[in-house]
Structures are given as C-alpha cells and as structure tokens.
Amino acid sequence: MTASDLGESAASDAERPAARSGWAARLFADRSISTEWVYGTIVYLALILSISEDDDIDPGQVLFFGFVTMVVFFLAHVYAHTIAAYSRGRQVERPFRAAVRHSVGLLLATVVPSIPLIVAITGAITLDQAVDGVSLLGLLVLAATSLWAFVSRRAPWWACILGTLAAVALGMIVVLLDYIVH
C-alpha cells in the first residue's frame, strides 16, 4: 500500500458515515438509511392505518392492498428517476438500474411492519392487534434508522437518545398527518 493509497482511503472514509463495523454495517446503512426507506415506512404505516379502517376487510386484504400500493409507489419512483437521468443524456440501462437500486427502500420498508399482519392472517391475533403491531414495528424501524444515523456520526450518547426520540416523535406526527390527509 502506497502513501497515495492511504490518502485515497482516508478521503473515501471521510466521505462515508463513520460506521463501526464492516460490510454488514455498510449494507445496512446503504439500504436502510435512505430517503426511500424512511419515506416508505411512513407511507406504509399511514396506508395500513387507512386501509384497516374498513370494517369488512381482513388482514390478508390489508397486507395485499398495502403492499400493492407500495409497489406502485416503487414503480413511480423508478420511472421518475429513470426519466430524470435519461433527460440528462445518460443511457437508459444505467439510469434504470440505478433507479431500481435507489428506490428499493420503498419495498424494503414494508417487510418488518408487515409481520403482525402475517400473524393475523393465521388467526393468532386480531386485525386491530395487527395494526397496533404494524404501528409499533414501523416506529421501531424509524427509531433504529434514526439511532443508526446518530451513532454513525459518532454523536454523544445523550444526543443519540434525544435525537432518536425527537426523530420518532416527528415520524409519528408525519404518519398521523399522512393518515388524516388520506
């Protein structure tokens, strides 16, 4: 390793979040600490709250309509990113692949919060309990991504806690506003 390699390594490390571990932490940060993941979590929570209000709907239908709606949002994001990149003179293939990678957080945001709905499909819990579980898990996802953001920036422990609490409170407010609007 040459001195220039060390300089390049230090420069690239300074540009990345200060994650404390290797490839798994970088993969988590690259995929979870994204606008799409956070946005997707908020939208998915509001969707589930809204869809589940129908008295004649079962947990499977809530899960299906919630996921299908998120797929539509994903396709809209991929479309928008691809068109925008193509308009800047890039080839279609690269912008499309980049748009898919960039937008996949919208779909990933549905995974953890959907667990209670899957359990409700089996009949182990009611739809109301599942919706409460979706809300709780969604807020925990927001808390985890917020905490990771503070920790990766090496914030003091008290700033990590206060920042995470503030971020989750703001996330709850945005979910409720989105729910009220829909």
Longest dimension (CA), the chain: 68
User: Quick one: pLDDT at residue 114?
Assistant: 96
Q: What is the signed CA dihedral for 70, 75, 80, 85, rounded to 10 degrees?
A: 130
Whole-number Å distance between alpha carbons of 90 and 16: 26
User: Quick one: pLDDT at residue 153?
Assistant: 87
Residue with tokens 């209000």, as numbered in its chain:
53
User: Quick one: pLDDT at residue 90?
Assistant: 60
Are the C-beta atoms of residues 18 and 154 closer than 8 Å to each other?
A: yes
User: Quick one: pLDDT at residue 123?
Assistant: 94
pTM, 2 dp: 0.77
What are the domain boundaries of the chain?
A: 33-181
**What string of pLDDT tens digits covers the 182 residues of the chain?**
444 444 433 333 334 444 445 655 655 555 557 888 899 999 999 999 999 998 899 999 999 999 999 999 999 999 998 888 877 776 666 788 888 888 999 999 999 999 999 999 999 999 999 999 999 999 999 999 889 889 988 999 999 999 999 999 999 999 889 888 87
